[in-house]
Structure 1
Amino acid sequence: MMRISPARRAAIERTSVTLLVVVSAAMIIAGKADQVAFQYLRNSVMDAAAPALDMLSRPAAAFDAAADRLRGFITVYRDNVRLAEENERLLGWQQVAMRLSAENAELRDLAKLVPDPAISFVTARAIGDSGGAYARNVIVNAGRDNGVARGQAAMTGVGLVGRVAEVGSRAARILLITDLNSRVPVVVDGTRQRAILAGDNSARPSLRYVDSGGTIRIGDRIATSGQGGVFPPGLPVGVVATVDSEGARVEPYAALSRVDYLRLVDYGLAESLPNPLAISARAGKRAESAVGGPPTLRR
């Protein structure tokens, strides 16, 4: 093998650098002087080098594809292991659930527990609202002909909206939980404190007549208590949003300002509501009060 002296190697390096600088300067000058010719030369070099670049890029592309497949295999393997572990845990929970279901059925039979009544519902679309400052209600396009009855719970997919207050043959009016006339017995989840959710035409109804012995905190979940017989226990209502000296206020789960579709659920409790007085009965009561009769109790 031919050895090059250090002096000659240094001279070649200096000459190479100088030659490259000169060629670069010449190319820059040629490109400025005749751009059309230089562009043609550049395109020709690019066309000549394209096959070689394509051949050189194919192994890199194949390597990238193989690496992607390998990563996919590793991901599939990990997912398979994770799913096998989850399946094993779910099988364990399935056995627990089956055992608890059998125990529950046996205890129900021993206690002779009365089963819950069948639940039916009607889905209706909101076609109007009060739009006033002193009422919060919604009109839906389902009525008595569709199985809607007064007192049924109006719900969305996330929580309670209100109850059916008035029913026509083809439409019904829903009294929202934010209405001034709305009073819903509720319970604070966790502490089990009972209270009354009272609407005042604002976006957040307030909690009144709260049981003593506990503290209501922001974030506590509120659900119906079942007292009063209007709603069954456990219907989600909202969460406590603010707590101040005036009491606690609840942010409803449902967006009451953007109600489109409502589910009118019949829990079999509508019969517990008192029937409204007829017009003639109301007139008779007013006449009796006017002549000094016994006063009527307003509920």
Structure 2
Amino acid sequence: MAFRDGPFDQLKVPLAWTAAVAVIVALIASILMILADRRNDGGAHGYGPVRAGVDTVLAPIGGVLAAPVRWAGSASDYIGGYFNAVSDNRRLRRQVAELEPWRDQAIALKNVNARYEAMLRLRTEPPVAMATARSVSESRGPFANARLLDAGSSKGVRIGNPVINEHGLVGRIVGTTGGVSRMLLVTDVASRVPVLVDRTDARAILTGDGSGNPRLEFVRGVGSIQAGDRILTSGDGGGVPRGVPIGVAARGIDGTWRVKLFSDRGAIDYVRIMLFEDFGQLVDPDALNAPPLAGLATAPAPDAAQTAAIGDAAARRARQTSPAPAPATAPAAGAVE
């Protein structure tokens, strides 16, 4: 059915009145918008009464109209994050796989740095020069316990030099070339080290027998050693400085005294070679054999004033020590001239 066939086919709306009403409504809306946006600069506050009223009415309406937009944005972000989770997970897995070697390398370097710091803190009395080396191979058999080190005579290493790590004495040098040296461990059957008991100062000889715990032989004194006593180098014989830690005493299953080595607490790979031959290298022989008063310097020559003062003092002393002249005697009565 057409519009003209309906009940409104006879309705007549004047075009002029319709245009007038539309213009008036648009004008009122424009005035309200201008008033709502107008700033009241003369007042103490930033809002005028008309604008405040308009904002009070439009604020709830704007919040209700903006809610669907916010919900739509949140839903879009959620859906986008859900579909992007797979790609993000793959990217993170690749990053973790790339960072794992760096993590392992950082942990290894941290451990090596900690061992270096521990070795650098180890001091001897008196101070001895040292050379750092690394164990490059191991020679182990039923009786032999030795290592090859990547430092030789080019760094000042000599046969007999003690070798330590961050925990204590490891062995001594038994052979050397330009860039490589051989270290004999204290557990080798050929190893003999003079030691002392820290608590009683009793002397003994640490003897290797191929086991992990060398024996203590020729212990001086009865009851001079107990389980748990610290064992140090004694310095007897001049082969090793005094006071280098070795281990703690323990009773073996065969009843002999043995030493649990401090060097077994870690791997023997990074070591320090003590460039020590004997105690004579620690002092200047000429200084020890100097004649008495050799360190006294000759006094400087006196100046004129000092010379005059010395002369006056000498003259006074001469006058005080010279004998007084004898008095003259009168001639006797009746003496013939």
TM-score normalised according to structure 1 size: 0.49
Computing the radius of gyration from Cα coordinates, the structure with the larger value is: 2
TM-score normalised according to structure 2 size: 0.44
